[in-house]
Structure 1
Amino acid sequence: MALQIEQVSGLKVPDSFICVITNAVIEGGDPVGRAKAVTLNFKDPDYSPETGGFHPVEVRLEKQATSWQLIYITDFSYQGRHTPELIKEIDVCFSIKQVYHFLAGWLNAREGKELLALFISNFVEYYNIGCYQVTVTTE
């Protein structure tokens, strides 16, 4: 089953990312036929504040009339010294076409596109080398 994912002008993602999402849904085995939303969680089981690893990433899609639309991509990381907790490090919000970084806040359009391109490139590579366990949840 191929997901028809509608791109948002101004924050387009490469086909390699669309392929990762489509493959993850297919491999997840959770049918999306009548679902209104799909959330994908990509986790490195060894990621921890002590040893590091690959940041968890969450991607949400929502069903439109004839296609799926990306709603957000969020990259989480452990932050804090004494009691580290997972926080949003990078948050891509497609509805408002903006990218957030926890150290800089909402980025301007150029910076946001540059960070998104770098993040997506790294994420696709990490997925392709098998760093993530993927959970697919439908609503």
Structure 2
Amino acid sequence: MKLNFNEVQGFPVPAKLFQLINQSLAGTSVPNNTFNAITLNFRDPDYSADAGGYHPVEIRMEKQNELWQLVYITDFSYQGGPFPELVKEIDVCFISKQVFNLFIGWLQNRNAKELLTLFVNNFIEYYINDCYQVSVSFD
């Protein structure tokens, strides 16, 4: 399965991200029924609140006029104690053009773009270094 993307997103992202998504979908069994959304989950099986590791990342895309549009990319981390829970640490919403960081709140303009660039570039490198197991769901 290979997706064609609307590369004019709410925020610019590197072409490598689209390549990574298509690589993750290669060989995936496509459901027989119609679907208009795909969610990719990237997990480090060794990530835990105690040992650390690579944060889980979720990417959602929706089909619009035969092209696929990024909806969000979310990075999760364990927070709190004594019973830590996974919470959104970085949340990029391409539809509303907003970026959220757990420790700062909502970011605007330059700060949002800088955090997005850093986050996406790091995520791509972690993926290239085979840090994640990927699961795919169709809606």
Task: Please report the TM-score for the alignment, with normalisation by the length of structure 2.
Answer: 0.94
Structure 1: unaligned runs, 5 residues or longer:
none
1: CA distance between counterparts of 2:137 and 2:10?
27
1: CA distance between counterparts of 2:26 and 2:73?
19
Give the deviation of 1:88 after TM superposition.
0.1
1:84 to 1:5, Cα distance in 2 relative to 1, 3 A: same
Note the aligned Cα RMSD (angstroms): 1.4
Tell me, yes or no, if the aligned pair for 2:9 and 2:94 is still in contact at 8 Å.
no
Segments of 4+ in structure 1 off by > 6 A?
none
1: CA distance between counterparts of 2:31 and 2:24?
12
- 2:136 equivalent to 1:132: no
- Which residue in the other structure is 2:67 paired with? 67
- 2:7 equivalent to 1:7: yes
2: CA distance between counterparts of 1:58 and 1:71?
11
1: CA distance between counterparts of 2:72 and 2:31?
18
- 1:7-62 CA-to-partner distances (Å, cap 9, x unmatched) read 345501101111111111114x1327832100000000000000000000000000
Give the deviation of 1:108 after TM superposition.
1.2
Task: Please report the TM-score for the alignment, with normalisation by the length of structure 1.
Answer: 0.94
Count of matched residue pairs: 138
- SS of 2:111's partner is helix
2: CA distance between counterparts of 1:95 and 1:123?
21
- Which residue in the other structure is 1:45 paired with? 45
Tell me, yes or no, if the aligned pair for 1:8 and 1:94 is still in contact at 8 Å.
no
1:45 to 1:19, Cα distance in 2 relative to 1, 3 A: same
Tell me, yes or no, if the aligned pair for 1:30 and 1:137 is still in contact at 8 Å.
no
1:8 to 1:91, Cα distance in 2 relative to 1, 3 A: farther
- SS of 2:118's partner is helix
2: CA distance between counterparts of 1:32 and 1:4?
18
Work out the percentage of aligned pairs sharing the same amino acid. 52
Tell me, yes or no, if the aligned pair for 2:40 and 2:58 is still in contact at 8 Å.
yes
Tell me, yes or no, if the aligned pair for 1:47 and 1:53 is still in contact at 8 Å.
yes
- 1:68-101 CA-to-partner distances (Å, cap 9, x unmatched) read 0100000000001311000000000011111100
- Which residue in the other structure is 1:23 paired with? 23
